[in-house]
Amino acid sequence: MRVLVTGANGYVGRAVVAALRDRGHEPIPMVRASGRVGEPGPVRVADLHDPGSLRNAVRDVGAVCHLAGRTRARESLADPLGYFRANTTGTLALLDAMESAGVRRIVFASTGSVYGTPDRQPMTEDLPPAPPHPYAASKLAAELALESFTAITLRMLNIAGGSDPDPTRLLPRALTSAGCGTPLTVNGDGSAIRDYLHIADAADAFAAAVDHLPAIERAVTYNIGSGVGSSVKDVVAAVERVTGRPVPLEYRPAAPEPAVSISDPSRAIADLGWSPRRSELEELVRDAWTTQNGILR
């Protein structure tokens, strides 16, 4: 199937383009400006706020993987309207272009943070949404707009591994601390637990969802995660084991964030034939460390 991939120059987008190609699909990367996406083949330049370019981008494709958008929860608190413009209005513009072109199939990148801070862990898809910040709310609003399409929404949490370009995330910061000896700042006592998913497992979930699109008749949602929780201290310990170097810690007051956030991916495993095969914490850390240091396996 020919699949348009929005946000194809991003961390996850590049991996999705590669995963689709490996699965036998023909990915068509969509980017905001001309540039390399790490894969051969044609690239379409379009902007979610330019209807004309979107109509040109969605021509003659069978489906869309929609990953373009803004993704930083704390940043969204300072710029809520910007996040709704990018994630909600931008998605509506894409859906409008798809409808005009007769393209009804879409896989949408959303976030497990739409559940807020539920007591029940791990989180399942039947939990009621309770978005705690504009980022999650903007993604949830976009999800609701997908209801009239043949759509699969993938709610993901903490993607890691490979060449993660975001220096604000825990694993890149911990690896930098190990490599340079600079202190890693930790909010609270380091006991906050998160679900970490390997970038390759996330990309494989998108490819599996594209394969599953012909089998569905309505919009469906899946949690995509490892199903395993790791604390900040667990991540630090894994980094120290993998690198053989200490990670000095600098503690700050606890931030207002969930103590535990773990995804239950069992529905995706059952329906999509997908599984998080590379998300064991030490393997994930080793992969990120190898990539960061440019070491070929």
Active site (annotated) includes residue 135: yes
Q: What share of the chain is helix, strand, coil (3-state, %, to 5)?
A: 40, 20, 40
> Is 119 a member of any domain?
yes
> Is 203 a member of any domain?
yes
**Total domains, the chain:** 1
Residue 297 pLDDT exceeds 50: no
The packing angle between helices 170-180 and 232-243, to 10°, is 40
Residue 293 pLDDT exceeds 90: no
Q: What is each CA distance from 109 to 91, 243, 254, 293, in whole angstroms?
A: 11, 32, 29, 29
Per-residue pLDDT of 90-149, as tens digits, reads 999 999 999 999 999 999 999 999 999 999 999 999 999 999 999 999 999 999 999 999
Name the token pair of 48. 């979610």
Torsion, CA 46, CA 70, CA 116, CA 107, rounded to 10: 30
Contact predicate 46/53, CB 8 Å: yes
- 171 half-sphere exposure, CB direction, 13 A CA radius: 30
Instruction: Check residue 13 and give its pLDDT.
Output: 97
> Is 297 a member of any domain?
no
Q: How confident is the model at residue 294 (pLDDT cuts 50, 70, 90)?
A: low
Q: CATH code at 261?
A: 3.40.50.720
Query: In sequence order, what are the residues at sequence separation of 6 or more whose Cβ sits closer than 8 angstroms to the Cβ of residue 295?
Result: none
Instruction: Check residue 34 and give its pLDDT.
Output: 64
Q: How confident is the model at residue 44 (pLDDT cuts 50, 70, 90)?
A: very high
Q: For the whole model, what pTM was predicted?
A: 0.94
**Residue whose tokens read 């707009």:** 145
> Is 231 a member of any domain?
yes
- Report the chain's mean pLDDT, rounded to a whole number: 94
Is 74 exposed, middle or buried (CB count within 10 Å of its CB: 0-12, 13-18, 19+)?
exposed
- Domain extent for 110: 2-292
* Catalytic one of 83, 115, 135, 196: 135
State yes or no: cis peptide before 167, omega within 30 of 0: no
d(CA 27, CA 213): 15
- 53 half-sphere exposure, CB direction, 13 A CA radius: 14
State mean pLDDT over 26-40: 77
> Is 14 a member of any domain?
yes
> Is 179 a member of any domain?
yes
Number of H helices, E strands in the chain: 11, 13
